[in-house]
Amino acid sequence: MIQKVFLPKLGQTMEEATIEKWTKKEGDRVERGDVLLEITTDKATLEVESYVTGVLKKIMAKEGEVLPVNAVIALVGEPEDELPSDEEIAQTAGEREEARPAAAKKEEAPAVQEAFVAAAPSARRFASPRARLLAKREKINLNLISGTGPGGRIVEKDIQACLAQLEGVKVTPTAKVIAYERGIDLTTVKGTGPGGKITKADVLQAAPRAAVPAAKRLELTAMRSVVAERMTYSKTHIPHYYLNIAVDMTECVALRQELNETAPAKISYNDFITRAVSISMSKHPEVNVVWKDDHIEQNAAINVGIAVALDEGLIVPVIRNADRLSLKDTAIASRGLIDKARGKRLTPDEYTGGCITISNLGMFDVDSFIAVINPGESIILGVGRIRETPVVIDGGIHIRAIMYLTLSGDHRAVDGAVGAACLKDVKDLLEKPQELV
């Protein structure tokens, strides 16, 4: 029996996703629990497992296509099962439009948070596989094409429209190849050959070869595009201030070593910091807020995000109700989320709803840095490395394990003095780490 495979809703906030890559091809045997494909939501690339067993008879969602949740993306059955007719398949594909959220239907544009409308329009440009294939075959440079697909995506009809425009243009094969390689619009080049044909010399004169190699164009991943949008919004709309403080981690280093000799779940310095931050925020609820244009919203819980660097970009899984967790439970929760993030198994509910982000670059030998606030939050904490440093204590010079913390705050919602009080409590807790256990 033919079974439909639907694009799953992997979190309460997920409405649509981009088909990133199929890990199975038509004709492959699929077992329940096998990874069928990878999808990209607004912040992360996730693996989708099959919930049916059989043969992958038909892939109905192309790589690069943006679809709403619950859209039919594939058909699975047994080898002897016959596929539905083309009309029935077309009808099934048409059901996607019914499943698409109303906001996404409007002008075929994907839903975008209103806060990020100001992002640069060229931040993300993609082309469908069929469009890329046709463009490569016909020597059409994608940089010259304006996409009419969802989110400005270049689709096959855009390439066909360009070809139609070039039908009346006379050009030699060599000139066409050079124009393709250099991104020259042939409709702007005046031909000097017989009958007005564009020659190699005409193209070279239009754009002389550069003395240095041409820059390489790198297409944006979905995650990199979102990071660009959010960080641009943050630095142009949120008035940041910065507070830097030195923390003596000597006792924390010793306590961590002692605990990890017997602890079943190894505890990281980040776990100590997360625990200290959550306790401090519970003492200073005035930092656990977010600016909402005409009011300030008090968050109902203390949810701490941990920045995780991936090859595709940055993602921030969130430890919910962090102030209610022990140090050991914090370590377990943190490790589980980080492993899921690196394995592309996070659901949208696991990387949304944060109140503060902790970004740690200590493993890269960074002493201190200024982090950019994650929109939707009011503070972010930059964590540097722990370094043996000579310090003066009671008139004498001692070697201590010093770490620098830098808090970035949204001055609209959190005053500097409030942020400083919260940061000071984080320092005090880390310097007396027994209180965190």
Backbone torsions φ then ψ of 48, nearest 5 degrees: -115, 120
Domains of the chain and CATH, by start: 3-108 (2.40.50.100), 121-206 (4.10.320.10), 238-436 (3.30.559.10)
Place of tokens 């619009």: 185
Per-residue pLDDT at 181: 64
Per-residue pLDDT at 119: 27
Per-residue pLDDT at 212: 55
Does 411 participate in catalysis according to the annotation? Answer: yes
DSSP state string for 251-292: HHHHHHHHHHTT-SSPPPHHHHHHHHHHHHHHH-GGGSEEE-
What's the chain's length in residues?
Answer: 437
**pTM (two decimals):** 0.63
Instruction: Please list the rounded mean pLDDT of every run of 10 residues in the chain (437 residues).
Output: 88 81 92 88 80 91 88 91 74 53 40 27 56 80 73 78 75 75 76 86 71 73 83 96 98 96 89 98 97 95 95 89 96 95 87 95 96 96 98 95 98 97 98 95
Structure tokens at 313: 């970009």
- Distances 255 to 361, 388, 434 between C-alpha atoms, Å: 22, 17, 8
Count Cα atoms within 13 angstroms, Cβ side, for 334: 26
C-beta neighbour count of 287 within 10 angstroms: 25
Contact 320, 303 (CB under 8 A): yes
Question: How many angstroms separate the CA atoms of 355 and 20, rounded?
Answer: 29
- Distances 170 to 179, 190, 290, 317, 320 between C-alpha atoms, Å: 13, 10, 60, 56, 64
Per-residue pLDDT at 357: 98
In eight-state DSSP terms, residue 227 is H
C-beta neighbour count of 215 within 10 angstroms: 7
**Which residue among the candidates 240, 295, 398, 411 is catalytic per the annotation?**
411
Contact 354, 363 (CB under 8 A): no
**CA nearest 96: which of 55, 63, 65?**
65
